Amino acid sequence: MKKRFLKDVLVLIGIIFVIFIVCIFLPEKIPVHFNVKGTPDIFAKKYYLLFATVIPYSAYWKFLRGRKSKNE
């Protein structure tokens, strides 16, 4: 159980680290919503993407963590 928890925490920290590195190279404000014409109408600061960490972590949780290994 502890081994699985440690793996989950390491995956979460890895995702946060990768998103933080990506944020360094982005401009200060990034568009987060586009209207029908395709022009951006809502902007956010680049570190707002750190809140998006939930998305790849939930994909990990759903597709990779949910699998049972042959050893279990």
Per residue in 13-39, pLDDT (tens digit) is: 998 899 889 999 999 999 989 999 999
The C-alpha atoms of residue 63 and residue 6 are separated, in whole angstroms, by: 18
Specify the pTM. Answer: 0.68
Model confidence at 56, in pLDDT bands (50, 70, 90)? confident
Model pLDDT, residue 26: 92
Place of tokens 């925490």: 9
Distances in Å between the alpha carbon of 15 and those of 30, 48, 66, 69? Answer: 20, 15, 18, 23
Model pLDDT, residue 39: 96
| Neighbouring C-alpha atoms within 13 Å toward the C-beta of 15 | 19
Distances in Å between the alpha carbon of 71 and those of 40, 61, 67, 68? Answer: 50, 19, 11, 8
In the chain, where the domains are located: 24-61
